[in-house]
Structure 1
Amino acid sequence: MGFSVEAVVSAVRRAVTRASGWADHEWELVREGPRSPLTHMALDEVLAEEVGPGRRGPTLRFWEWSSPAVILGGFQSVRNEVDLGAAGRHGIEVVRRITGGGAMFVEPGNTVTYSLYAPPSLVAGLSVAESYPFLDDWVLGVLGDLGLNVWYQPLNDIASEGGKIGGAAQKRMGSGAVLHHVTMSYSIDAAKLGEVLRVGREKLSDKGVASAARRVDPLARQTGLAREVVIDRLIAGFRSRFGLVDGPVSAVEEARAGELVASKFATEGWLWRVP
């Protein structure tokens, strides 16, 4: 984390709180076939809650999408963020996640999305702002190995000379676990995105900071690699740094995710909690 005053203070805080390191844990990998947007929302909550009390080890999960969607941040307004008429014309589902941050537009094959479900000890002694680059430093390393000049743009963006590559969102769960997920653009249908998301106007984020649409520079253009190869390289990079074993979603976790879809994520009350 460098040798600035802030970095030294963080290091001291982590030592005092007896923070754990990445290699202190046995990390599990979940990489499965496509799932519905609603199922992804539910799985994020279920797997994070399983990691908190230790029923599941710390986990890295890569997502595959079965259908296009707009995923709203937990505190965003549906009407402010989405043109519902355009979404309907294009068959795009609108769902809401449990983390904050901005809206995402995804289609099968056009993003690289992953979640980290980490124990609280991994980020002990770090502020929320410090935990974002800390949890994604390995990604910057792998992208650097692929020849990209990338950096972390506070609070939660992965950026390059050509523009934004991706963004992160995070939530500290009641169980103590940290849910941290990232969506990076692999390719982008800019015309469709412009129709569906209301990105052409300044708006207030969940933290009350004015923001506008930012230029995106997708991984397909920057790397020239197939999306599956990019994901393979990310997994290999994580494994070489910290170790990684297969940890598929269990039948119990599947059942709980299905229950959460029905009782929470698919309900009008959840989607329209911020109209």
Structure 2
Amino acid sequence: MAKYPFRLLKTGYGNAFYNMGLDEALLESVARGTSPPVLRLYGWNPPAVSVGYFQGLTEEIDLEACKRYGVDVVRRISGGGAVFHQAELTYSMVMPLTHPLAGSTIHESYELLCAGIIRGLDLLGVPSRFIPINDIISGERKISGNAQTRRMGCLLQHGTILLENHVDLMFELLRVPSEKLKGKLIQDVKDRITSLKTLLGRPVPFAEAENALAKGFSQALSLEFIRTVPWIGGEAPDTRQEERRARELAVEKFSSPEWLFRR
């Protein structure tokens, strides 16, 4: 079977604005042809809430609560709903739309790429399966949600694997239709969402999940990692340029009120 060359970037923890800036900087590099396709693995510090590109910020998020708890708020360039990022491993994949793994439709690409997550979870001892459009469940409970955008002639998909659940805090940060229903909504989410800690009965360190996911993507999608960078901004000129661009986007775009409140 043919191997697909990919860069593997293990960029560690970043704040919300840097994380989204780096995803877009990598998208630009792949679109220009100065980078091969990329798989990036990362975490969030401090915790954050990200809203989808098409969502209204104040309709979805309690900004005062986020400020009170020290939680960043950012808008993604991908669609989907609001997501609370705390104890989780996040991945992003960028490739040209002409790449075989990009699929012929959005639905096909989700199923293709999520196979890497399923294999990574299997390596951790967690059986799981894909359910359309973009979720992965173990048993009947969701452990991974994914979102995608297509721009600049490329596909960018990113998603999460929950290491632990923090549903009560999440509902302090998200707006709910009715305070009377809040307790029921919290219990419904707890019944529908799970984590590696719950499934395995032990805390799963970030590095363990990171290594399993990298191996899962490699095995399931026949990726050949042509360069592994433990921290972006390293020795190669392309990573230094991407680092500068990521920090520029973090300040000028992703943390700007114009971007945050655009809808």
TM-score after normalising by structure 1: 0.80
1:36-63 Cα shifts (integer Å, max 9, x gaps): 1101111111101111232011111011
- Give yes or no for contact 2:123–2:216 (8 Å, CA) kept in 1: no
Q: Which amino acid aligns with 1:268?
A: P
Structure-2 residue corresponding to 1:216: 193
CA deviations 1:120-178 (Å, max 9, x no partner) are 2224652111110111112212222333231111111111215110111111121x121
Name the CA distance, whole Å, in 2 between partners of 1:162 and 1:153.
10
The equivalences for 1:62-211 within 5 A come to 62-107=41-86, 110-120=87-97, 121-123=99-101, 126-174=104-152, 176-198=153-175
Structure 1 residues without counterparts, runs of 5 or longer: 1-20, 202-211
Alignment match, 2:38: 59
Q: What is the letter of the counterpart of residue 95 of structure 2?
A: A
8 Å CA contact 2:52–2:80 kept in 1: the answer is: yes
Alpha-carbon distance in structure 2 between the residues aligned to 1:139 and 1:61: 13
TM-score using structure 2 length: 0.84
Instruction: Give the root-mean-square deviation of aligned CA atoms.
Output: 2.1
Q: Distance in 2 between matches of 1:270 and 1:87?
A: 18
Alignment of 1:35-54 (within 5 A): 35-54=14-33
Deviates further, 130-139 or 216-225: 216-225
Cα shift at 1:239? 3.6
Q: Secondary structure in 2 aligned to 1:187?
A: coil
How many pairs align?
240
If asked which structure has higher relative contact order (CA below 8 Å, sep 6+), I would say 2
How far 1:71 moved relative to its partner? 0.7
Q: CA deviation at 1:238?
A: 2.9
Give the share of equivalent positions with the same residue, in percent. 35
Q: Distance in 1 between matches of 2:243 and 2:144?
A: 28
One-letter amino acid of the counterpart of residue 218, structure 1: S
Distance of aligned partners of 1:97 and 1:167 in 2 relative to their CA distance in 1, 3 Å threshold: same
* Partner AA of 2:84 in structure 1: F
SS of residue paired to 1:112:
strand
Distance 1:129 1:238, change over 3 A: closer
Whole-Å separation in 1 of the counterparts to 2:12 and 2:145:
23
Aligned residue runs from structure 1 range 231-270, under 5 A:
231-240=210-219, 241-244=222-225, 245-247=227-229, 248-249=232-233, 250-270=239-259
The amino acid across from 2:64 in the alignment is G
The CA deviation string for residues 6-33 of structure 1, in whole angstroms up to 9 with x for no partner, is xxxxxxxxxxxxxxx9x44311111123
What is the Cα deviation at residue 112 of structure 1?
1.1
Higher strand residue share: 2
2:23 and 2:166 mapped to 1: Cα distance? Answer: 26
The amino acid across from 2:123 in the alignment is: D
Aligned CA distance change for structure 1 residues 45 and 81 (closer, same or farther; 3 Å) = same
8 Å contact 2:53–2:80 — kept in the other structure?
yes
Once residues 29 and 258 of structure 1 are traced to their aligned partners in structure 2, the CA distance between those partners, rounded to angstroms, is: 20
Q: Which runs of 5+ in 2 are unaligned?
A: 179-187, 234-238
Helix, strand or coil at the partner of 2:29 = helix
CA deviation string 1:74-116 (max 9, x = no partner)? 1111122111222121111111110001111112xx0010001
CA deviation digits over 1:198-237, x for unaligned, max 9? 3566xxxxxxxxxx95721011221333332122111223
Q: Equivalent residue for 2:185?
A: none
